């Protein structure tokens, strides 16, 4: 049985339309008009237990709305959802004990209290014995390198420490399905890496299923083999990140440093010129022509150094969203 099974999921929000000014306010009061915003449109996918899936889309694409439906915070307008064998919006205790939702821009820890106190509250909510709670705090704090900070009021933690503490609190009941909405938002590179590493270990240790949204592609490339792309509420890609790159970036970047400057006209036959900076040139070369072009360049041009890389993944995803379809 898949951990998450979604069929034809749709969410339409009614949004009140209000004209400006006093007349608009009065009209709004007596005869309210609505327009329908289709935030999620006929989305279907299935995620197996233990998978880590990246859920990507531009702002307003419908990611958070989908996560809210998967965690039972809002009702779908139509379609079926099953998470850990439950219908999320019924919000049964046995469902809530198996999932967690972490939102990078929202916090559940109590601001003026030390993290430890919030963890005790969560322990009571999930009926953990004192020993279980101690063991889990010890294990997770150790994984997150947070033990020293647990007695400090949350408001005195750095952003990165706070996010780790949020993660600890969200996982104290050892959920099997994790929904993470921008868990590394605003963190510096080191803190992002620490959170990623932690998620990798948690996934492996508990075979947890993870659905992750992030605008940082490094999170996705480090954690997810599979990505779902959503655009204007519609799922436009479901598959491996590698296939996506191959499909949408049928070229590779060749960076060459020459012993002396080479005129642009002499470079044109080799590929599309991206930039020329003195003796350093970046070209885009189609994947199927790469071997031929590289050997020709080495034979015919004064090449000092040459490297071949994939284009940045952000650019590839950006292209997909610009095109709007796959």
Site for ligand ATP, rule CB under 6 A: 13, 15, 37, 39, 57, 59-65
Rounded Cα distance between 165 and 141, Å, is: 8
Dig out the tokens for 322 from the structure. 């610009």
- The nearest distance, CB 321 to ligand ATP, in angstroms, is 11
With CA atoms as reference, report the closest residue to 308 among 265, 259, 270, 251. Answer: 251
Cβ(88)–Cβ(72) below 8 Å: yes
Smallest distance from ligand ATP to CB 40, Å: 7
| CA 140 – CA 133 distance, rounded (Å) | 11
Query: Measured from the CB atom, is 157 or 229 closer to ligand ATP?
Result: 229
Minimum Å gap between C-beta 105 and ligand ATP is 8
CA distance 263 to 160: 48
Nearer to ligand ATP, 61 or 283 (CB): 61
Residue linked to tokens 């990611």: 63
Q: What is the DSSP string of 91-129?
A: --HHHHTTEEEEETT---S-TTSBHHHHHHHHHHHTT--
CB 77 to ligand ATP: min, Å: 12
Smaller CB distance to ligand ATP: residue 50 or 58?
58
Considering the complex, state which of residue 51 and residue 181 has its C-beta at the smaller distance from ligand ATP.
181
Minimum CB–partner distance for residue 13 and ligand ATP (Å):
3
How many other C-beta atoms can be found within 10 angstroms of the C-beta atom of residue 9?
24
| CB of 326 vs ligand ATP, minimal distance in Å | 17
Kindly tell me which of 233 and 271 has the beta carbon lying closer to ligand ATP. Answer: 233
- Specify the residue, 73 or 110, whose C-beta has the smaller distance to ligand ATP: 73
Task: Compute the chain's Rg from CA coordinates.
Answer: 25
């Amino acid at each position: 049985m898949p951990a998450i099974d979604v069929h034809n999921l749709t969410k339409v929000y009614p949004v009140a339309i209000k004209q400006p000014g006093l007349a608009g306010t009065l009209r709004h009061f007596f005869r309210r008009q609505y327009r329908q915003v289709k935030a999620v449109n006929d989305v279907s996918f299935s995620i197996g237990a233990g998978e880590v899936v990246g859920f990507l889309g531009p702002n307003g694409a419908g990611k958070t709305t989908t996560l809210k439906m998967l965690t039972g915070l809002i009702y779908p307008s139509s379609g079926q959802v099953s998470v850990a064998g439950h219908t999320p919006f019924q919000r049964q205790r046995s469902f809530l004990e198996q999932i967690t939702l972490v939102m990078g821009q929202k916090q559940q820890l109590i601001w003026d209290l030390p993290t430890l106190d919030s963890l005790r509250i969560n322990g009571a909510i999930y009926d953990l014995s004192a020993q279980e709670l101690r063991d889990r705090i010890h294990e997770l704090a150790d994984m997150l390198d947070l033990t020293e900070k647990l007695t400090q009021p949350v408001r005195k933690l750095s952003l990165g420490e706070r996010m780790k503490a949020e993660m600890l609190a969200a996982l104290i009941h050892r959920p099997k399905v994790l929904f993470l909405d921008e868990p590394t938002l605003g963190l510096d590179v080191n803190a992002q890496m620490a959170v990623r590493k932690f998620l990798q270990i948690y996934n492996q240790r508990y075979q947890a299923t993870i659905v992750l949204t992030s605008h940082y592609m490094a999170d996705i490339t480090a954690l997810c083999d599979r990505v779902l792309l959503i655009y204007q509420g519609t799922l436009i890609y479901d598959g491996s990140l590698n296939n996506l790159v191959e499909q949408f970036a049928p070229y590779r970047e060749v960076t060459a440093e020459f012993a002396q400057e080479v005129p642009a006209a002499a470079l044109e036959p080799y590929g599309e010129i991206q930039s020329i900076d003195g003796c350093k040139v970046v070209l885009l070369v189609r994947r199927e022509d790469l071997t031929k072009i590289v050997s020709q360049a080495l034979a015919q041009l004064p090449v000092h150094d040459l490297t071949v890389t994939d284009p940045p993944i952000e650019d590839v995803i950006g292209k997909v969203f610009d095109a709007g379809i796959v």
